């Protein structure tokens, strides 16, 4: 094992062994190119040296040169022939640019491992709330890049390179557990509509599903399976025209029928890739409803897997709180209220209870009006009473200068959530003059 200065590593260079930090944090696997993104991440987080096993591969394909050696002319069975007269090459009017190299999921997984070193700063009590939020936002953005590489690889080559996925979801479990209040307030990555739907929806739904799963006391192994199933629950959409799920117009009956096959498409994609039956059932059944009104098989109640029931609630919650081509986003409070109505008995009651107690009637980030006439923002959940969240009073601080945070209870209660216009006005007043 050799200690190598990061500055000496060139973009797209490869090694026959692994590149690691401290011998245990994998940065790049054997034979994989070290991307510009990986080098930038190492520089950004202050890593000046990495440990390398194996030798540098000087040129792409050099390691395979020995397999098909070129025979010397003297050993060639065929007689040498004079070379034909070469005509001068005619310059083309416009040379085609070289094809863009596809980013591998493994490369983006390596960047997530590096970004996780920020969690040391996150746990530092000296870090401000703004700094902590920025750290969690950065990790979220790295996960979006990983999913983009994962989905793009399948879309272009029908190759779902999911080797790192269980590890990435296991890491996400830890991030959700330790940074939930910040993770629920991240800003979705700014992407084109198609990629935003497939990537932001997948990741945001997974965060919510894992929070619900934790509230329901699922084991770590089950949480990882749930997370994998939720991250991939819409992968079948890749095989459908984007207009079906992005259009602002009302779909025809034929278009609805075509859209309703995406769980089957996703199931088949994952089955071909060897995923477990519990993950497959979560993807296949996530649009089924408790009353049998869902699709594709209109099954009901205990015929629906627990993963599918959780994903159904998480997926719906995320959809309500996100903007789409055909609607504006709603507040997290309104999404919770809409789901709790459970019109038509669509959702499992135990899953709904877990949603309420894990996200609260007034979810994190909701601006509220208190019974003492003050305004506040919800910063955490009260696990004993979802109606009495932990709030930060606006325009008030402790004597130390820290934000003033209290748990509502007794005579102090939340009267209502502020409207979007009221929330926008409060935020503007907090920013002060520009």
Q: Tens digit of pLDDT for each residue in 344-402?
A: 789 999 999 999 999 989 999 999 999 999 999 999 998 889 999 999 999 888 988 88
Q: How confident is the model at residue 94 (pLDDT cuts 50, 70, 90)?
A: low
Residue 140 clears pLDDT 90, i.e. is over it: yes
**Mean pLDDT computed over 92-109:** 67
In a domain, 149, yes or no: yes
**Mean pLDDT computed over 58-87:** 42
Same domain assignment for residues 33 and 111: no
Same domain assignment for residues 309 and 334: yes
Q: How confident is the model at residue 336 (pLDDT cuts 50, 70, 90)?
A: confident
Q: What is the pLDDT of residues 9-58, one digit of tens each?
A: 888 888 888 887 766 556 776 777 787 767 876 776 567 888 888 888 86
Residue 251 pLDDT: 83
Same domain assignment for residues 206 and 147: yes
What radius of gyration do the chain's Cα atoms show? Answer: 26
Task: Residue 131: give its domain's CATH number.
Answer: 1.10.3210.10
Residue 285 pLDDT: 98
pTM above 0.85, yes or no: no
Same domain assignment for residues 414 and 380: yes
In a domain, 65, yes or no: no
Same domain assignment for residues 34 and 146: no
In a domain, 184, yes or no: yes
Q: How far apart are CA 322 and CA 85, in angstroms?
A: 66
The conformational region for residue 301 under phi > 0 = left, psi -120 to 50 = alpha, else beta, is left
Same domain assignment for residues 308 and 208: yes
Same domain assignment for residues 421 and 289: no
Percent of the chain at pLDDT exceeding 70: 83
Same domain assignment for residues 208 and 285: yes
Residue 96 pLDDT: 54
Residue 98 clears pLDDT 60, i.e. is over it: no
**Mean pLDDT computed over 193-200:** 81
Residue 430 pLDDT: 80
Same domain assignment for residues 146 and 209: yes
In a domain, 68, yes or no: no
In a domain, 71, yes or no: no
Residue 165 clears pLDDT 90, i.e. is over it: yes
In a domain, 323, yes or no: yes
Lowest mean pLDDT among 200-214, 322-336, 387-401: 322-336
Same domain assignment for residues 419 and 288: no
Residue 310 pLDDT: 98
- Sequential DSSP letters for 325-382: TTB----HHHHHHHHHH-TTS-S-HHHHHHHHHHH-SS-TT-EEEETTS-EEEEEE--
Whether residue 413 has a cis bond before it, omega within 30° of 0: no
In the 3-class helix/strand/coil scheme, how is 256-309 assigned residue by residue? HHHHCCHHHHHHHHHHHCCCCHHHHHHHHHCCCCCCCCCCCCCCCHHHCCHHHH
Same domain assignment for residues 333 and 385: no
The chain-wide mean pLDDT, for the chain, equals 84
Residue 64 pLDDT: 39
Same domain assignment for residues 379 and 321: no
Give yes or no for a contact between 418 and 375, defined as CB atoms under 8 angstroms apart.
Answer: yes
Most confident of 54-63, 117-126, 181-190, 203-212: 203-212
Of the candidates 266, 359, 283, which has an alpha carbon nearest to the alpha carbon of residue 321?
359
Number of folded domains that form the chain: 3
Residue 325 pLDDT: 57
Q: What is the pLDDT of residues 263-310, one digit of tens each?
A: 999 999 999 999 999 999 999 999 999 999 999 999 999 999 999 999
**Kind plus residue range of the DSSP H or E element containing 51:** strand 49-52
For residue 291, the enclosing domain spans 105-359
In a domain, 410, yes or no: yes
């Amino acid at each position: 094992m050799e200690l190598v200065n990061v500055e000496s590593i060139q973009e797209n260079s490869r090694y026959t062994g692994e590149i690691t930090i401290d011998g245990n944090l994998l940065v790049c696997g054997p034979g994989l190119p070290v991307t510009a993104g990986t080098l930038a991440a190492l520089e950004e987080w202050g890593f000046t040296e990495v440990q390398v096993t194996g030798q540098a591969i000087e040129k792409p394909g050099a390691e395979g040169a020995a397999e098909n050696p070129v025979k010397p002319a003297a050993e060639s069975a065929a007689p040498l022939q004079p070379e034909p007269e070469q005509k001068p090459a005619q310059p083309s009017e416009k040379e085609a640019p070289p094809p863009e190299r596809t980013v591998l999921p493994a490369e983006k997984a390596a960047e997530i491992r590096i970004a996780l070193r920020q969690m040391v700063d996150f746990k530092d009590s000296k870090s401000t709330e703004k700094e902590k939020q920025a750290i969690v936002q950065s990790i979220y953005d790295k996960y979006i890049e990983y999913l983009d590489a994962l989905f793009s690889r399948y879309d272009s080559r029908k190759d779902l390179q999911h080797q790192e996925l269980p590890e990435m979801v296991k890491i996400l479990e830890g991030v959700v557990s330790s940074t939930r209040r910040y993770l629920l307030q991240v800003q979705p990555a700014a992407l084109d509509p198609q990629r935003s739907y497939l990537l932001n929806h997948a990741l945001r739904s997974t965060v919510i599903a894992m929070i619900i799963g934790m509230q329901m006391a699922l084991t770590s192994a089950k949480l990882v399976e749930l997370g994998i199933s939720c991250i991939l629950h819409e992968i079948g959409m890749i095989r459908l025209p984007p207009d079906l799920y992005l259009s602002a117009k009302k779909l025809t009956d034929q278009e609805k029928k075509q859209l309703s096959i995406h769980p089957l498409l996703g199931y088949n994609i994952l089955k071909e890739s060897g995923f477990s039956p519990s993950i497959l059932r979560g993807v296949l059944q996530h649009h089924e409803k408790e009353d049998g009104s869902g699709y594709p098989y209109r099954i009901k109640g205990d015929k629906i897997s627990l993963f599918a029931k959780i994903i159904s609630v998480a997926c719906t919650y995320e959809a309500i709180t996100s903007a789409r081509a055909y609607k504006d986003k709603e507040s997290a409070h309104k999404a919770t209220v809409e789901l709790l109505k459970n019109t038509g008995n669509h959702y499992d009651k135990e899953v709904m209870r877990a949603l309420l107690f894990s996200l609260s009637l007034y979810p994190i980030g909701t601006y509220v009006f208190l019974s003492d006439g003050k305004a506040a923002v919800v910063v955490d959940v009260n696990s004993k009473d979802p109606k009495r969240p932990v709030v930060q009073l606006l325009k008030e601080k402790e004597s130390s200068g820290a934000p003033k945070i209290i748990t509502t209870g007794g005579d102090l209660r939340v009267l209502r959530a502020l409207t979007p216009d009221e929330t926008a006005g409060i935020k503007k007043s907090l920013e002060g003059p520009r």
